[in-house]
Amino acid sequence: MEQEKKFTDMFKDRAQTSILWIYDCETGEKKEVTRFDHVIEAPNWSKDGKALYYNSLGLINRLDLDTLVSEQVDTGKAIACNNDHVLAADGSGIAISSNDNGGFDSNIFIVRFSDHSVTKVIDKPLSFLHGWSPDGKKIAYCAARMCGTPELEWDVYIADADGSNETRLTETYGLNDGPEFSPDGKQIWFNSVRTGRMQAWRMNADGSEQTQMTFDKTMNSWFPHISPDGTKVVYIAYHQEDLRAGDHVPDKNVEIRMIPASGGEEKTLVKFFGGQGSMNVNSWAPDSRRFAFVSYEA
């Protein structure tokens, strides 16, 4: 309990109201779901469409969309959960980024809902989960590693779901982040600052054919999320004057933009006050029509 209180106190630094929204791509309308008197982040939509999972105060919670009641997910000793977490495609569990030793180095764990088991699968610091393959066999994450250079290099990695066979997929200078599998598991979407501005990219699941997909000239584009039907991608965009290209921070005026999954002109869907935590991980509903995001008020 003492350790849990320590984490809770540390997460109180951002004392804000969080507003959870659902955006409907067919009508262009956004609907306020509920408000929280503390910071919540990164909603994941459940496979059955009945709930949203989010992190708050170092913990993972499940919000029932009918009752609007939240229940804490048992994550064992992993009680410093950050906003990088992904549900299994079959709904059997959730993979989370957290730590269990009192720090914020971030390892990766898999939580199984059936038996409440919590398994640390990546026991290396600075590992931030973003993707879990549709067949459940692979995870994708951003990680900082020493790769024969004086400084840590931030790249996209994949590994088997048990943590074995870690493989580096990107090797360009600067930050490569946010890797997420396509619904068929054949591709990985991610964001990279390699061109001097953060943009959305796509590559094959083995790291080949890395292709730039957004070409925003005045924005830094982060965390591309592909819809379950594989047809469209939404991402969060920061105004270039608000931050450095490799940063993603809270409390900025940002936009959610959308492009076809095949590539094409971007379209702004929503403008709001948010940023870090608003939509770090895939938040599409199973119907590929709606997605969730979080805005903030001081």
All domains of the chain, ordered by start, with CATH? 2-297 (2.120.10.30)
Other beta carbons within 10 angstroms of residue 112's beta carbon come to 13
The pTM for the full model equals 0.93
Q: Residue 3 — very low, low, confident or very high, per pLDDT cuts 50/70/90? A: very low
Cα 23 to Cα 257, 271, 288: the distances in Å are: 12, 12, 11
Whole-angstrom CA distances from 18 to 14, 152, 168, 193, 229 are 10, 33, 35, 29, 29
11-15, 99-103, 224-228, 238-242: least confidently modelled range = 11-15
Rounded CA gap, 279 and 81, in Å? Answer: 15
- What does the CA dihedral 212, 179, 49, 73 come to, rounded to 10 degrees? -160
Q: Provide the pLDDT for residue 151.
A: 82
pLDDT at 6 > cutoff 80: no
| Rounded average pLDDT over 262-266 | 96
**Contact (CB, 8 A) for 83 and 41:** yes
Q: How far apart are the first and last CA of the chain?
A: 29
Model pLDDT for residues 48-76, shown as the tens digit of each residue: 999 999 999 999 999 999 999 999 999 99
- The predicted pLDDT at position 220 comes to 97
Q: Tell me how far CA of residue 145 lies from CA of 48, 132, 142, 167, in angstroms.
A: 37, 21, 10, 12
Q: Is 235:225 a contact under the CB 8 Å cutoff?
A: yes
pLDDT per residue as tens digits for the range 140-188: 999 999 877 778 899 999 999 999 999 999 999 899 999 999 999 999 9
DSSP-based three-state secondary structure for 146 = coil
**Residue 37 tokens, joined:** 């008197």
For residue 7, is pLDDT > 90?
A: no
- Give the model's confidence band at 4: pLDDT under 50 very low, under 70 low, under 90 confident, else very high: very low
Question: How far apart are the C-alpha atoms of 82 and 85, rounded to whole Å?
Answer: 8
